[in-house]
Amino acid sequence: MADAAFGHSVSVSGGWAVVGAPYQWNNASDWLAVGAAYMLYLDQGIWTHHSRLDVGQGYNCTGAAVAIDGDWVAVSSPGDYPSPVIATVSLFKREGDSWTLMQQVGPSQEGAISVALAADVLAIGYPAVGHLDMYRRVNGVYQQERSLRSNAMHLGQSLALAKDGTRVVAGGSWPAQPGDITGMGGATVYDYHTDKADWRRAGAAEDVCRKASSMAVAIAADGLTFALSCPSVLDTSTRRDAGLVEIYQKDPDSSVNFITVASMRGDQGNKAEFGTSLCYDHSAAEGEEVLVVGAPHENSDQGSVFVYKAQGVEYTLDSRQVMGQVGQLGASLTIDNGTIMAGAPVYSDPTGDGEEGEVVVFNVI
């Protein structure tokens, strides 16, 4: 899989994982990045390749974003060429030991896609146009129930769903001033109201940082706390992108705002881009959150993964995992029941012919 960027995206649920390789080519003479998504399964304690998911012909950069929840997998194909971009999300269901394509949402010409799955809910972000679409699975079919928009320019560049599917957090950015194409980073929160059968804006965390295009979001197991990152926050002494992660909860004095209750920064003086990826373990015990943070450019692009454990709003660094060679470990992250998978999409196998990519697995003790 030369130059495939295997591990660009990754998601795990139970004994199954899906890994995206969005830059994989069809063959050596075809420079078009059709991309791919691969299923892995846990076999007697070892993660093993199972199959490649077939999204059909005509889609590019397949696997740019992936999500798995139980027996369902979502794979985005945001496209990059030819113009105009044709983007779609493919939905697969496990039947026995096989994964079958059940449905495709799209095609859309609205740009790159982020995806999230939880319970019977699918969220799709279209940051190029600043909105996200919410779908609900009814009788095995995902049906659109709402298109959500806000004043964020790039709403949906990152997404996270609460494990019960009743809250979605969408990363985006707000114009700092008229004509500002970068803006201030933040997140918008929407809750599903069962009595109204509708999604409503619950509030926002705004003015977090500039250069917000690579921000990540994650929702804690309690469904009330979320993490928001800005990997581009500078160390003022070196002007390097050290990175910042902030933890938010609802402001008790406001019905629309969330406030910072904790924060952590990347290694000062190091271009770490701490917070490029984030994930919470939704299986953690109540009151004992586990947050995992990726810093893929730390140590000259070797990359690092940081594991934090929290009691209430007190976050303590528990461990740090490193690659030991260039790979950008932590470019993507996922965790389930204490098992962490970290993508290293530019890792090169010495016996290969390009940046194949790798996924590293380790456990929270």
Q: Is the pLDDT assigned to residue 283 strictly greater than 60?
A: yes
Q: Is the pLDDT assigned to residue 113 strictly greater than 90?
A: no
How much is the average pLDDT of 27-32? 55
In whole angstroms, give the CA distance from residue 7 to residue 19: 6
Look at residue 69 in the predicted model and tell me its pLDDT: 97
Q: Is the pLDDT assigned to residue 300 strictly greater than 90?
A: no
Band of the pLDDT at 80, cuts 50, 70, 90? Answer: low
Cβ atoms of 278 and 289 within 8 Å: the answer is no
Tell me how far the alpha carbon of residue 72 is from its chain's centroid: 17
What lies within 8 Å, CB to CB, of 198 at 6+ separation is 145, 146, 192
Q: What percent of the chain has a predicted confidence (pLDDT) above 90? A: 51
Which pLDDT tens digit goes with each residue over 126-162? 887 888 999 999 999 999 999 998 766 678 889 999 9
How much is the average pLDDT of 210-216? 59
Look at residue 59 in the predicted model and tell me its pLDDT: 67
Give the lowest-confidence range in 34-43, 223-232, 263-272. Answer: 263-272
Band of the pLDDT at 25, cuts 50, 70, 90? Answer: confident
Look at residue 72 in the predicted model and tell me its pLDDT: 98
Look at residue 232 in the predicted model and tell me its pLDDT: 76
Look at residue 122 in the predicted model and tell me its pLDDT: 97
Q: In what order do the strands lie in the sheet with 339-344?
A: 332-336, 339-344, 358-363
Give the lowest-confidence range in 86-100, 151-165, 242-256, 345-359. Answer: 345-359
Higher pLDDT, 110 or 133: 133
Tell me how far the alpha carbon of residue 306 is from its chain's centroid: 16
Tell me how far the alpha carbon of residue 277 is from its chain's centroid: 7
Q: Which of 9-13, 82-86, 189-193 has the highest mean pLDDT?
A: 9-13
Higher pLDDT, 20 or 271: 20
Look at residue 212 in the predicted model and tell me its pLDDT: 47
Band of the pLDDT at 180, cuts 50, 70, 90? Answer: low
Look at residue 96 in the predicted model and tell me its pLDDT: 92
Q: Is the pLDDT assigned to residue 235 strictly greater than 90?
A: no
In whole angstroms, give the CA distance from residue 42 to residue 44: 6
Q: Is the pLDDT assigned to residue 243 strictly greater than 90?
A: no
Tell me how far the alpha carbon of residue 20 is from its chain's centroid: 11
Look at residue 248 in the predicted model and tell me its pLDDT: 92
Higher pLDDT, 130 or 163: 163
Cα 126 to Cα 108, 156, 157, 165: the distances in Å are 10, 6, 7, 19
Q: What percent of the chain has a predicted confidence (pLDDT) above 70? A: 82
Look at residue 343 in the predicted model and tell me its pLDDT: 96
Give the lowest-confidence range in 132-136, 189-193, 211-215, 327-331. Answer: 211-215
Cα 158 to Cα 131, 217, 350: the distances in Å are 11, 6, 33
How much is the average pLDDT of 86-91? 88
